[in-house]
Structure 1
Amino acid sequence: MHQDKVAEIKNAIAQATASSPEELEAYRMEYISKKSVVGELFAEMKNIPNEEKKVFGQVINELKQLAEEKFQELIERVNTDKKQSNAFDIDLTLPPSNVGAGGIHPLTATRQRIIEIFERIGFNLSEGPEIEDDWHNFTALNFPINHPAREMQDTFFIEKDPDIALRTHTSSVQVRVMENQKPPIRTLSPGRVYRNEAISARAHCIFHQVEGLYVDENVGFADLKNTLYHFAKEMFGKETKVRFRPSFFPFTEPSAEIDISCQLCGGKGCNICKGSGWVEIGGSGMVDPNVLDNCGIDSKKYTGFAFGMGIERIAMLKYQIKDLRLFTENDVRFLKQFKPML
């Protein structure tokens, strides 16, 4: 009787088919699970006479192996059929979807353009940490102990260590370069900086700077002026005018603010330039001898100049953007305007 049942199950397994995961599961329940017809035969083992158990056990095991091999065969067949059907799910006659490519962010494009201009005249890139110590961010740059920049209302300090802060400028990178490299030094340091300022159309607590440094023998203010003249005309056009206004920075002496003719009104006067026709783009000056000495460079032998500019300010002038907050809001309507920059 058992032989007839085994033969019947073998025949059913041989003829079994499946074309979906549901049918595969039905086959598994019918022939492989503990409650399957094969499982029932194993349960009858206890009723088989001892002298026949060995032969019966071999037959049942062979049947179980046959059922499992068939199951694997059906799985492969279902997977193959699925791949073939998926290959024809796409209608190749349909027109392509009108999904446009993304564009380069205006800040990224501006940063790349600034780097390109200065690399052509010999400046190398340098980078440093955004979390800085007091020496690299303030002391080495000639900031006095009572300078306002050292106060919490201007700088983000790390609470557990008052000597550690988020860098307020990328001048800290220049200090690291001068500490580890002998003149001549000609480096450009772009990066993100942090200042404790209220966010508005003209200011933000997180922004980007690019600072340049040139240290060598016989470097003078004329070298600084010619370098920045070259940059302004390459960045904004040959008709751009540049002027220098006397200023003060702890790390440069003499120091000067850099102004260019307003790009929005052509120098005629508007609300952006406050009617003056000029817009400030950064600060500059000759590196203070104390800074050179602090970094291990002989100030009696070497001189140098440094400059710094906000990348957001440059981008606002170049692309005539009137609100600084647009750079960080990720408004797709704003970003779509810069696709041609690809």
Structure 2
Amino acid sequence: MDAPLAVRARGIDQSFGEVVALDGVELTVPAGQIHGLVGPNGAGKTTLLGLLLGLAVADSGSLEILGTPVGRALAVPEGVAGFVDGPGLYPSLTARQNLAALAALRGDKAMARSIDDVLDQVGLTDVANDRTRGFSLGMRQRLGLAAALLAKPRLLILDEPSNGLDPSGKKQVYGVLQRLAADGTAVVLSSHRMDDVEALCSEVTILATGRVAFSGPLGKLAGEIRELDYRIVTSDPAAARKVAGDTDGLRIGGGQDSGVLVVSGPVPVLDELVKRLVQADIAVRELSPLVSPLEAAFLALTEVETDR
């Protein structure tokens, strides 16, 4: 049976004066899915995240959050949490005091009892009693996530959650989000980083100039690009270049002076090249795209949308 929907948006329009921020946007996110929202600056991502958090209401279209129709601002149901444009914190308070203030505003004693747990989940236990004015960007992002976790969300909305995170912090945040999704929480995250999207998201929506350029599984998105540039490192660069030159349908690019062969062509042709290299007793030590399939598809789709 299909998972219940955490978000169902149909024909969402939003304008600010003469500026069209969202134009007929459709978005479907089932429970338990981590859904990526990506696009160039000004594409409408922040506007859409604000609608999902109930910070504004669309000019037209329909929006259901956790099965509840939302027709006015601040009317999203319980179970929605997150932040847009970075978390709002009290700089003169410690991390623990910030979370305690949030729990007090909600009047939720169970939330207050969870403070130490969420601080531990995001890796801030050691700085729990430090004032947040001295926090780095990554620490503030993690504290914002901790604040969202206090609400035990069924829908979590995050804007650039890995901003400022070192590799250890990123791994910790990834783990939190993956555990939430495994427990049935839907996560919608906006990110400019394709590695975040590839590591976390099963589906992605790409916005360009307020329109949906693509929405669906990552595998389908990568399939939109038929040819990529690949770097090939072999045991004999000169011989590999000759084999590549004799392979029909393959184009040889720059970068040869470093001993790295750069080629582009359809996947079946690349498969044929690898086969020929092996037959020529040339070891293939590396074969990797210069740009990930996801990033290449993103660039192609957003350029097409922008040119319309």
Q: Same fold (TM over 0.5)?
A: no
TM-score normalised by structure 1 residue count? 0.18
Relative contact order (alpha carbons < 8 A, sep ≥ 6): 1 or 2 greater?
Answer: 2
The structure with the largest strand share of the pair is: 2
TM-score normalised by structure 2 residue count? 0.20
The structure with the largest helix share of the pair is: 1
